[in-house]
Amino acid sequence: MLGKTAGGLYWMFRFLERSENTARLIEAGFRIALTRSKDPEAEWKSVLTTARVRADYDRKYDGYAASNALDFLLRDTDNPSSVISSIENARTNARMVRTALTTEVWEAVNESWMALKAVLKNPVTQTKLPAVLGEIRRHSAQVRGAVHGTMLRNDIFDFTQIGIALERADNTARIIDVKYYTLLPSASFVGSTLDNVQWETILRSVSAHRSFRWLNNHEISPMSIAEFLIFDSRFPRSLSFCSRILEDNLGYLAKDYDARLPCHDMIDAQRDKLRAHTISTVFDEGLHQFITSFISANNAIGEQIEKDYRFVG
Amino acid sequence: MSSDRRHFDEMLLGQDAVRAPYAEYENWFSQEDRTRLSKKSKEAEAFFRRTGITFNVYGQSAAQERLIPFDLIPRIIANREWAKLSKGIEQRVRAINAFLHDIYHRQEILRAGIVPVDLIASNAAFLPQMIGVAPPGGVYTHIVGTDIVRTGEDDFFVLEDNARTPSGVSYMLENRETMLQMFPELFSQIKVQPVSDYPKNLRHSLAASAPKNCAGKPTVAVLTPGIHNSAYFEHSFLADQMGVELVEGHDLRIVDGHIAMRTTEGYQVIDVLYRRVDDDFLDPLNFRPESMLGVPGIMDVYRAGNITIANAPGTGIADDKAIYSYMPDIIEFYTGERAILKNVQTFRCSEPDALRYVLDNLADLVVKEVHGSGGYGMLVGPAASKKELAGFAEKLRRSPANYIAQPTLSLSTVPIFTKQGLAPRHVDLRPFALVSPGGMNITPGGLTRVALKAGSLVVNSSQGGGTKDTWVLED
């Protein structure tokens, strides 16, 4: 496979994952701002921070009115992580690697692009927001379904999964990073309304408010939430789960190409680090520090993969 | 422009009569519900959008992707008609390859005084870098698209020979796919020669043209300028259909005297490069130094016989519009036969007598730039305003050698499907020929382009033309 093609696949699926993650952040923020928060602007500010676009947003707007935040996150082409930019980038990469995709996958991406461009052509009102977010989620599911149902399990598939896993791990880690203070035992006492709201935001941002309750008998504690997001191997957005996907797929590549590369050592080190920790040792060491170092290690793995598999010349 | 009312329609003879090749189709069509057909027509458009069969238009914003309108009435050619056409194309393509070999070697045709020396020496499409170079297997043009128009029952003319990087073959294939999806029953009733072998034939033809020293199965790749090129869809489509890599200049470099592509596992040698990048941009060391689309030094690898470039650099000298007028003589010179397909009468404005005639009759002529393509920079006399005519006359006087002129032909029409019923529109035809050292393969049919505006003679997609599926009937 061409190095450029591997890179195109990787970025195509990072951007697809990003569009879905942004939609999920919006959904959580919207719901909390609507139902629970005394300070909706603070919610939107936090969403923009988590999406890592606040600096760009601040250059454009004063304050964090819902309509501005929504517009910036959904349909602003100046925002490289907006849903419309992400889907545009995903499709441009898909065009570039079209020979590596099945017809079903290509058509699913192309249709997403056509549909979302139409839906996001005009500003999205709060009335229409749920339907729009639903459509974004549906299209993303369609692409994922086409990938799983039609693509060969070869190096092409591996690079798609690597892109997804890295983007998703980064997203979950950033959610923890922005809200980590609400998870610290020192800053909380169980039953406080404020914390409950913040915890719900976190769980909704990763679409896990229901599954978490199922697994934890409705007993919510900051430590159990942190443990769930970092370590739970059943939860497909946990850091541990994403790292395993990454490790597996990099492993398949090593076997396929009969070559162990520096990125393999890095993912092994990450796995060992996650295994060596429990939630108590993470809290002892400092949650914030742990997450910050995870984010930079995750980025470094991504950069190493780009080098090892020759994405660019 | 408005066309002559006496033009030849390939389907309809009169009020109730249809020409023989269309008899079976007309039989089916007359029983079809028009509303259903209208719906099908919209379905086809949605299908093209969904599958991304689009082209980018130069001069518009980068993100602009347009569809080439597709008309659902097929253009039908009888087997007998095709037999003559394909024989004529075969002869012509053979002559073009012989001409190219000669022009880059001994130049017998210039010594014989058949083609003027000036025409070659001063021609930008002639590449001195190709002099004395022997392309692998002796093939210069591996893929040729011959533009043919019709004016009557037995009157076919070649309008243009596309011997550089002819495009449009993906539309030939996708148009047939679309028709098969929309009207499967038609194809069980009417026996149409298939076109779907083209990608397989292309792959075989390219592989058969690999350098002699290539050990094992040749590695083929398609070279594209990138996703912003107007024909990018076709490049990726062909690579995909052939099952070969689609590469850009920055994926390639020279490794041990060979062209190699950067893969996830290191550099892999390419034996045959089907390039869809123009000569000028192919090699910044040998041609345009600022080109980012090519591979520095590829010409040296080529001259060393370590890669096949299809089509070979420098083939443009054979489809140059100034050379075109000499084609009948060129065919006779190399094949010893009279040309089977006629040329359109052509006035070379470089010749004083011809220029005078062209200037006197500008309003009746089509004037083309010698090096132009895609319908840009041409004058359609009968459609032009007085001001446009005067402006063009000035250009002609300033650089006459840049232009040729031809009479406006009364192009044949084939009906298109409109809300009001069938409406005649002018068409042309571009069949595709594949050449390898082992022989030639011409896909039955080709791309039919249709001018969608009533009376218009300009079929180019960049100028608002559409396409039709082209059927060559079985015997």
**Residue B89 CA neighbour count, 13 Å, CB half:** 33
ipTM of the complex: 0.85
**CB contact A106 to B (< 8 Å):** yes
Q: Which two tokens stand for residue A214?
A: 């199922």
Q: Write out the DSSP string of A246-283.
A: HHHHHHHHHHHHT---HHHHHHHHHHHHHHH--HHHHH
Amino acid letter, residue B164: R
Using an 8 Å Cβ cutoff, are B148 and B157 in contact? yes
Find which of A98, A114, A162 to mutate to test the B interface (most B CBs within 10 Å of its CB).
Answer: A98
Other C-beta atoms closer than 10 Å to the C-beta of B298 total 26
**Residue A168 CA neighbour count, 13 Å, CB half:** 27
Mean pLDDT of A132-152: 95
| Distance in angstroms (rounded) separating the CA atoms of residues B163 and B96 | 8
**CB contact A114 to B (< 8 Å):** yes
Amino acid letter, residue B391: G
Tens digits of per-residue pLDDT, A208-224?
A: 988 888 888 767 788 88
Work out the burial of residue A47: count CB atoms within 10 Å of its CB; fewer than 13 is exposed, 13-18 middle, 19 or more buried.
buried
Using an 8 Å Cβ cutoff, are B446 and B432 in contact? yes
Nearest C-alpha in A relative to B237:
A99
Cβ-nearest to A114 among B49, B261, B262: B49
Q: Which two tokens stand for residue B268?
A: 């892999």
Q: Where are the beta strands (DSSP E) in B88-223?
A: 143-152, 155-162, 220-223
Q: Which residue has the higher pLDDT, B421 or A195?
A: B421
> What number of residues does chain B have?
475
**Chain pair A-B, CB pairs under 8 angstroms:** 60
Work out the burial of residue B311: count CB atoms within 10 Å of its CB; fewer than 13 is exposed, 13-18 middle, 19 or more buried.
buried
Residue B376: the pLDDT is: 67
Contact map slice: A 181-220 vs B, CB within 8 A: none
Cβ-nearest to A2 among B227, B232, B245: B245
SS (H, E, C) B390-417: HHHHHHHHHCHHHEEEEECCCCCEEEEE
**CB contact B177 to A (< 8 Å):** no
| Distance in angstroms (rounded) separating the CA atoms of residues B239 and B57 | 22
For residue B311, whether the previous peptide bond is cis, meaning omega lies within 30 degrees of 0, is yes
**CB contact B419 to A (< 8 Å):** no
| Distance in angstroms (rounded) separating the CA atoms of residues B436 and B210 | 9
Chain B residues with beta carbon closer than 8 angstroms to that of A106: 51-52
Cβ-nearest to A3 among B52, B246, B262: B262
**CB contact B263 to A (< 8 Å):** yes
Q: Which two tokens stand for residue B247?
A: 């590469």
**Closest listed residue to residue A170, CA positions, set A73, A60, A9, A25:** A25
Other C-beta atoms closer than 10 Å to the C-beta of B415 total 22
**CB contact A154 to B (< 8 Å):** no
| Distance in angstroms (rounded) separating the CA atoms of residues B359 and B381 | 11
| Distance in angstroms (rounded) separating the CA atoms of residues B98 and B107 | 11
| Distance in angstroms (rounded) separating the CA atoms of residues B143 and B203 | 11
Tens digits of per-residue pLDDT, A86-96?
A: 999 999 999 99
Chain B residues with beta carbon closer than 8 angstroms to that of A103: 51
Q: Which two tokens stand for residue B167?
A: 């495009």
**Closest listed residue to residue B239, CA positions, set B220, B225, B213:** B220
**CB contact B262 to A (< 8 Å):** yes
**C-alpha distances out from residue B445 to A98, A148, A251, B473, Å:** 27, 38, 49, 9
Find which of A87, A99, A143 to mutate to test the B interface (most B CBs within 10 Å of its CB).
Answer: A99
**Closest listed residue to residue B19, CA positions, set B183, B153, B185:** B153
**Closest listed residue to residue B252, CA positions, set B273, B238, B234:** B273
| Distance in angstroms (rounded) separating the CA atoms of residues A244 and A231 | 11
**Closest listed residue to residue B213, CA positions, set B243, B253, B254, B258:** B258
**Closest listed residue to residue B374, CA positions, set B150, B144, B162, B119:** B162
Is the four-CA dihedral A36, A41, A44, A46 of positive or negative sign? negative
Cβ-nearest to A313 among B239, B250, B266: B250
**Closest listed residue to residue A144, CA positions, set A161, A131, A166:** A161
Contact B263 A1 (CB under 8 A): yes
Residue B292: the pLDDT is: 82
List the single range of A21-30, A156-165, A182-191 with lowest mean pLDDT: A182-191
Tens digits of per-residue pLDDT, B386-426?
A: 999 999 999 999 989 889 999 988 899 999 999 888 999 99
Cβ-nearest to A257 among B236, B251, B265: B265
Other C-beta atoms closer than 10 Å to the C-beta of B420 total 7
Q: Write out the DSSP string of B216-268.
A: SSPPEEEE-S-TTSTTHHHHHHHHHHHT-EEE-GGGEEEETTEEEEEETTEEE
Q: Which two tokens stand for residue B401?
A: 């050698």
Contact B239 A99 (CB under 8 A): yes
**Closest listed residue to residue B415, CA positions, set B72, B5, B31:** B72
Q: Which two tokens stand for residue B23?
A: 């008899």
Q: Which residue has the higher pLDDT, A53 or B321?
A: A53
Q: Which two tokens stand for residue A219?
A: 């007993």
**Closest listed residue to residue B93, CA positions, set B149, B31, B148, B34:** B148
Residue B267: the pLDDT is: 96
| Distance in angstroms (rounded) separating the CA atoms of residues A99 and B242 | 10
Compute chain A's Rg from CA coordinates: 19
Strands B245-247 and B220-223: parallel
Contact A155 B248 (CB under 8 A): no
| Distance in angstroms (rounded) separating the CA atoms of residues A103 and A122 | 30
Chain B residues with beta carbon closer than 8 angstroms to that of A1: 263-264
Residue with tokens 């014989």: B112
Nearest C-alpha in A relative to B222:
A99
| Distance in angstroms (rounded) separating the CA atoms of residues A81 and A86 | 6
Contact map slice: B 226-245 vs A, CB within 8 A: 227, 232, 236, 239-240, 245
Find which of B181, B264, B269, B292 to mutate to test the A interface (most A CBs within 10 Å of its CB).
Answer: B264
Q: Which two tokens stand for residue B271?
A: 């034996």
Secondary structure letter of residue A158 according to DSSP: H
Q: Write out the DSSP string of B59-105.
A: TS-TT-EEEPPEEEEEEEE-HHHHHHHHHHHHHHHHHHHHHHHHHTT
Instruction: Give the Cα-Cα-Cα angle B380, B384, B390 (nearest 5 degrees).
Output: 105
Nearest C-alpha in A relative to B239:
A99
Q: Which two tokens stand for residue A254?
A: 């090593």
Using an 8 Å Cβ cutoff, are B474 and B453 in contact? no
Residue with tokens 């069980």: B188
Which residues of chain B fall short of a pLDDT of 70? 1-6, 56-64, 372-376
